[in-house]
Amino acid sequence: MDKLKKRILQDGKCFEGGILKVDSFINHQMDPTLMSDIGKEFAERFAAVKPNKIMTIEASGIAPAIMTGYFMKLPVVFAKKKSPKTMQNALTTTVRSFTKNREYEVVISKDFLTPDDRILFIDDFLAYGNAAVGIIDLIEQAGAQLVGMGFVIEKEFQEGRKLLESKGAEIESLAIIENLENGKIQLK
């Protein structure tokens, strides 16, 4: 994903505490052509693990996930950060956000996560891995199988990958940030 890496170097901004802002093209304003390329790339990388469903978490995982689902011709389900009144049969987990220094509940309907499912999880960022761990908990509660995890950007120095590797699923990140020291984006 050279196009993605170039864009991160060009438009990404570093902030204190290991924060990388990519809100002009990934997670506030979004570039749909780049998102489509991202979806195509994930579809190629994960074809071999044969998922039957894509899962993500609202809100900024939705765009890369729907594009991946489009190219793989698979349904996409997003976990919600609050339980809607009308959701029955919900599975729930708690995620701790380091960036926001708070905990939040994540829910998904059992109707859309079942023991037959082979799940590919897609998200915009892999940082400490907490959101991904929450999603894995939901997948385990449902008796479904995790077959892959795809991240648009991985912040390697926050070591989330270590937490996820024990789960045995393939992990792919399209751009890996080694560090953000001295306000400079160092790509792998």
What are the residues binding a copy of itself (CB under 8 A)?
Answer: 15, 19, 21, 23-25, 28-33, 35-36, 58-59, 62-63, 66-67, 69-70, 73-78, 80, 84-87, 99-100, 108-109, 111-112
Q: In whole angstroms, how close is the CB of 162 to a copy of itself at the nearest point? A: 25
Complex with a copy of itself: residue 3 or 163, whichever CB lies closer:
3
Question: Which one, of 187, 158, 160, lies nearest residue 174 by Cα?
Answer: 187
Query: Which residues, other chains included, contact 86 with Cβ-Cβ below 8 Å and sequence gap of 6+?
Result: none
Complex with a copy of itself: residue 30 or 132, whichever CB lies closer:
30
By the 10 Å C-beta count (0-12 exposed, 13-18 middle, 19+ buried), 50 is classed as: exposed
Q: In whole angstroms, how close is the CB of 165 to a copy of itself at the nearest point? A: 28
Q: In whole angstroms, how close is the CB of 82 to a copy of itself at the nearest point? A: 9
Q: In whole angstroms, how close is the CB of 140 to a copy of itself at the nearest point? A: 19
Measured N-to-C along each axis, helices 32-45 and 2-11 cross at an angle, to the nearest 10 degrees, of: 140
Complex with a copy of itself: residue 62 or 176, whichever CB lies closer:
62
Facing residues of 104 across strands? Answer: 95
Complex with a copy of itself: residue 89 or 94, whichever CB lies closer:
89
Complex with a copy of itself: residue 47 or 59, whichever CB lies closer:
59
Query: Which residues, other chains included, contact 94 with Cβ-Cβ below 8 Å and sequence gap of 6+?
Result: 103, 104, 105, 106, 134
By the 10 Å C-beta count (0-12 exposed, 13-18 middle, 19+ buried), 152 is classed as: buried
Q: In whole angstroms, how close is the CB of 5 to a copy of itself at the nearest point? A: 20
